[in-house]
Amino acid sequence: MPHLLILAIPVPPRSLEMLGELTEEREVATPFGPVGPLARRQRSGQNPGVWILPYFGSPTRTDPRATIWAAKDLGVQRILAVEGMVGLAHDLTRGDMVIPVDYIDWTKHQPTTFFQQTGAGYISQKPPFCPDISAAIRQHLPRARPVIYLGDEGPRHETAAEARMFQQWGAQARGLNLVPETYLAKELELCFAAIGLIAAHGADREPARGEGEVRRATREVLEALPAIFATLPDPPTCGCNHLQDSARQRGVLSNDWRTWK
Ligand SMILES: [Zn+2]
């Protein structure tokens, strides 16, 4: 199965060559709008490669349901997101690397789910992120610090008062691209985890100084990705691909995920 890499941080195009040759480009039509273009890269002799989707939170962003639906449609089981984040914790600064281990949903959309009718989306958020992918990240990027993630939706920056409030809640990093994607992935029984690169300070601090730290850290992450993907156990040991078993057994969901709603 190919993996999906969601890139919510700018990267120089040539830097993606370390993920292999470009073998395919396509857009995926979904009931929630088109997704893509996605680019597939494969290293020689290493199938099935990785789909890469550039991704940025904005008012015109891709519907998160479309993103996750497209991943399922492409036969992906594992989604790894790399995101530029705001360091809320005062000891996080530009170029620091983090791995979200839990999250707070501060998005203000109407509840987003694939299951408006059935309620099958009431899925435990423990663990919040895929254990298999998270373990592989920790193995190959040991300096990635575990953090509580604040999922916001922009398009503005947080205020200083909000930055202080988020920290009182226990949040250490803020971003726009992992929520609701992480729980939508659970609904469709996909694995989802992320690596964060701190690109700015929270609004209650002086702006972060320095040049090049984020670019260097991004390169470090991209260089580690082939090893991270190669470490993932096959078949998965995380259980993410069985989260709807009880709904299926109760007859709430059919075996064909395309009919789920
Ligand atoms: Zn998983």
**HEC profile for the chain?**
CCEEEEEECCCCHHHHHHHCEEEEEEEECCCCCCEEEEEEEEECCEEEEEEEEECCCCCCCCCHHHHHHHHHHCCCCEEEEEEEEEECCCCCCCCCEEEEEEEEECCCCCCCCCCCCCCCCCCCCCCCCCHHHHHHHHHHCCCCEEEEEEECCCCCCCCHHHHHHHHHHCCCEEECCCCCHHHHHHHCCCEEEEEEEEEEECCCCCCCCCCCHHHHHHHHHHHHHHHHHHHCCCCCCCCHHHCCHHHHHCCCCCCCHHHCC
Angle between helix 213-231 and 131-140 (nearest 10): 120
Taking the C-alpha atoms of 217, 44, 53 and 148 in order, what is their torsion angle to the nearest 10 degrees? -40
Across-strand partners of 2?
none
Report the separation in Å between the CA atom of 128 and the middle of ligand 1, taken as the mean of its atom positions: 10
Report the separation in Å between the CA atom of 188 and the middle of ligand 1, taken as the mean of its atom positions: 12
Report the separation in Å between the CA atom of 90 and the middle of ligand 1, taken as the mean of its atom positions: 31
Residues in the chain: 261
What's CA 19's distance to the chain center, in Å? Answer: 18
Report the separation in Å between the CA atom of 236 and the middle of ligand 1, taken as the mean of its atom positions: 6
Return the pLDDT at 46. Answer: 65
Report the separation in Å between the CA atom of 243 and the middle of ligand 1, taken as the mean of its atom positions: 10
Report the separation in Å between the CA atom of 142 and the middle of ligand 1, taken as the mean of its atom positions: 20
Block residue for tokens 């479309």? 66
Return the pLDDT at 149. Answer: 98
pLDDT block averages, 10 residues each, the chain of length 261: 94 88 95 93 83 79 91 97 98 98 89 82 92 98 98 92 98 96 96 98 94 93 95 95 92 91 80
Report the separation in Å between the CA atom of 35 and the middle of ligand 1, taken as the mean of its atom positions: 22
Report the separation in Å between the CA atom of 165 and the middle of ligand 1, taken as the mean of its atom positions: 31
CA 65, 2, 231 angle in degrees (round to 5)?
115
Protein residues within 5 Å, CB atom, of ion ligand 1: 130, 132, 191, 238, 240
Q: Which residues contact 235 (CB under 8 A, 6 or more apart)?
A: none
In this prediction the pTM is 0.96
Return the pLDDT at 108. Answer: 82
Report the separation in Å between the CA atom of 238 and the middle of ligand 1, taken as the mean of its atom positions: 5
Cis-peptide, bond into residue 48, ω within 30° of zero: yes
Report the separation in Å between the CA atom of 91 and the middle of ligand 1, taken as the mean of its atom positions: 30
| Cβ proximity of 182 and 128 under 8 Å | yes
Q: Which residues contact 233 (CB under 8 A, 6 or more apart)?
A: 132
Report the separation in Å between the CA atom of 197 and the middle of ligand 1, taken as the mean of its atom positions: 22
What CATH code would you report for 3-259?
Answer: 3.40.50.1580
Report the separation in Å between the CA atom of 133 and the middle of ligand 1, taken as the mean of its atom positions: 7
Q: How far apart are CA 112 and CA 81, in angstroms?
A: 19
CA distances from 235 to 73, 77, 186, 219, 226 (A): 19, 10, 17, 29, 18
Report the separation in Å between the CA atom of 185 and the middle of ligand 1, taken as the mean of its atom positions: 10
Task: Please choose, from the candidates 88, 103, 93, the residue with its C-alpha nearest in 3D space to the C-alpha of residue 185.
Answer: 103
Return the pLDDT at 58. Answer: 58
Report the separation in Å between the CA atom of 244 and the middle of ligand 1, taken as the mean of its atom positions: 13
Q: How far apart are CA 97 and CA 85, in angstroms?
A: 9
Report the separation in Å between the CA atom of 1 and the middle of ligand 1, taken as the mean of its atom positions: 13
Report the separation in Å between the CA atom of 114 and the middle of ligand 1, taken as the mean of its atom positions: 19
Please report, for the chain, the start and end positions of each structural domain, with discontinuous segments joined by +.
3-259
